[in-house]
Structure 1
């Protein structure tokens, strides 16, 4: 359709999750009239339907029905539990199917805010060694940036969102700009000391995007401090944890420069052959089925790793017959995640006279210690641990044979202490781990679906052995009982940290994006979500997405001023 004045903007942002929210905030605050598109329904901060409900106020005692489990089958088979309190966040797999050559757990939420409402909030900087690892190991391609390029943008992001944590002075886990740390409980403090004494290893409180004190700026008056309810998965009406809904989107709206359009499924980029640039996007209105076009000088794709890959692969032209910007053939390839469901647990004695206050929405973190310095293993890269200690609750008695007064007495007393460590291990960027478009199978909108074909390799399998054994060894050294090493198995996607598909690199022949997150072959298109990642490290990636996005926006605005894009 022919554009008119209502169809043309300075910038378009596709997606409102962690990266899209930051792109919207930074672009609008720099004065650009920005259209922000999300394929899902509108969710405003505070409009979280189950956030304050008790379990007895929910149908079926909060339990999912068989129909719920069938409609949200992917989420139901992963770490996320489908309940009456959370089911509205998960994608209906019947309406939005995908294919699996090998099992892939693609957990999605189609709504404004995306997975920024659902994430685990763990916020860790990557280190210099993470950005240098590919070059050092001769794996895949070299990152086109280094830690020094991103360091000021980590600062910028952390000051705005608020990250609580403890400085540790570790080279492999650079310290952040922190709010006060949450407190470890008595068993965690004991284990921390044991690790230091027995192994000279560090355990710290999780670095998490929760407000433990007021922000150091006055730009987010809608955000309050964490009340340790640990109901974060429902959405936080206090705005205590960072989400696009509670933080970046309100900031963008305040500028008066943002037009937010929900229920807008971006199907493809529009390529202007004459000028060699992207002129806009094609959109399907999810409510009316109307086909629309919107124009802009610069476009930010932040639709999630596979949302962005889908748009790029579906955007074909005579210039890009194999997908937008896919001169290298790397589009859709190099899928990474963090492998997990491996570690150890133990029973802890001697602390039965102690408990904790509240339900802290955070755990402890053990930074990577393998393949650092003199430590050399039979595999490359490494892993960290997340976990914590707690006392078992009344659910431990569900299979207990006692009844009546004895059962009441047992239920009134807290159970034993347990301590657990779960590993987050790095997955290498293998070219053959890929996603492709299936034009024969359509979703509810008539768009092609994705098919996944990826799995971990030998390097990851060797790492998993160490992830279980090292966790058990540390728990045993602390004197804990019934130590159990475990490996429950893993399928790609389960870590919910999908990365790759449109990686950054130095050479257009082997990568999709340059050092500024621009598509090599079309520099007015920026990609700053997980699809841009060149390697995975072992730390949670969301903080790095935010820093990359803020850096890319600053570059885009400067390039627009110079008339270079």
Structure 2
């Protein structure tokens, strides 16, 4: 690795990926698999697969019956806890403290943030639903916004590609609003869920109750599901981080696969504050960061730069 602190315009890496969450991890894996030396810049701390401190804790090991005290919420998590069900003792180490940041809020805006390697791929709800032509054509038909330049048929093969690798369990229902995908077998409904499904079918024959389409492995195929993965144990503790790698995350899957290629470098605690634009080439040429620990500035160069720092984070950088 070479740090271009003197601004020498030479290519240090083939590619730089800003952010290590769902999309950043996937971009890094694809680049590394194709032989590109890739640097992943993550503003948060280093976390490795398996470093989930509460994953195997029993309920009695957690203080306050797993509840965060009202005092702590008021002091540190006054916005992160507004969803009410989300913040608990067993997952608060993944959630940023509101007391460390601020943002203008003219209207209510719930922004759940987690700064660490893996990003919100550790924290997400794992539900995976395809957009349909209803979604892609909505702007044009309703006369609002900008018409999508693609349609479902254009992206359907890529849905297939990603779903197969990710491992999405679900049941095909033939619904045009949520197209069927490349599913693993669905998780079995419990007796209450099955009763509800049957009751709804009797009263509302055209309404479908279907198992959630989730990125949890109901079946594990090592030839397809690469990385540090295993079959879901249905513990219901996904929000803590999964030591089995049963749900899809950057830590257990994409970054792990990228690491195996020998082409990946991860630099945590690297706060990106600028993507440098080269006026002569008309392309982005480097990324400038501030080290969160030392407060030193560094600049990294690459031939291609991916900005995967979340919707708000990427917009702020750009």
Please indicate, yes or no, whether the TM-score normalized by the shorter chain is above 0.5: yes
Please state if 1:206 is matched with 2:202: no
C-alpha distance in 2 between matches for 1:52 and 1:119: 19
Q: Which residue, out of 153, 160, 168, partners 1:163?
A: 168
Alignment of 1:372-451 (within 5 A): none
Q: Give 1:112's aligned residue.
A: 117
- Is contact 1:162-1:215 (8 Å) kept? no
Aligned-residue offset at 1:273: 1.5
Q: Give 1:22's aligned residue.
A: 26
Q: CA RMSD in A?
A: 1.8
C-alpha distance in 1 between matches for 2:120 and 2:293: 22
- Is contact 2:80-2:98 (8 Å) kept? no
C-alpha distance in 1 between matches for 2:54 and 2:23: 25
- Is contact 2:9-2:301 (8 Å) kept? no
C-alpha distance in 1 between matches for 2:43 and 2:258: 19
| TM-score, length-scaled by structure 2 | 0.93
Aligned-residue offset at 1:138: 0.9
Please state if 1:62 is matched with 2:66: yes
Change (3 A) 1:216 1:198: farther
Alignment of 1:176-195 (within 5 A): 176-195=181-200
Unaligned runs of at least 5 residues, structure 2: none
Please state if 1:78 is matched with 2:83: yes
Change (3 A) 1:248 1:221: closer
- Is contact 1:68-1:87 (8 Å) kept? no
Alignment of 1:32-43 (within 5 A): 32-43=36-47
- Is contact 2:81-2:87 (8 Å) kept? yes
Aligned-residue offset at 1:2: 2.3
Aligned-residue offset at 1:67: 5.3
Aligned-residue offset at 1:44: 0.6
- The one-character-per-residue Cα deviations of 1:218-263 (angstroms, maximum 9, x if unpaired) are 5525211111111111100011111111111101111111111111
- The one-character-per-residue Cα deviations of 1:282-325 (angstroms, maximum 9, x if unpaired) are 1011111011111111111110010001101xxxxxxxxxxxxx
Unaligned runs of at least 5 residues, structure 1: 313-565
Q: Which residue, out of 86, 93, 116, partners 1:88?
A: 93
Give secondary structure in 1 for the equivalent of 2:79: helix
- Is contact 1:132-1:146 (8 Å) kept? yes
Aligned-residue offset at 1:139: 1.2
- Equivalenced residue count is 312
- Is contact 1:68-1:82 (8 Å) kept? no
Please state if 1:153 is matched with 2:158: yes
Kindly indicate which of the two structures has a greater share of residues assigned to strand.
1
Q: Which residue, out of 126, 131, 134, partners 2:136?
A: 131
C-alpha distance in 1 between matches for 2:66 and 2:196: 35
- The one-character-per-residue Cα deviations of 1:20-62 (angstroms, maximum 9, x if unpaired) are 1111111111111111011000111110011111122234443
Q: Which residue, out of 238, 246, 256, partners 1:250?
A: 256
C-alpha distance in 2 between matches for 1:35 and 1:67: 40
Q: Which has the higher contact order (CA 8 A, sep 6+)?
A: 2
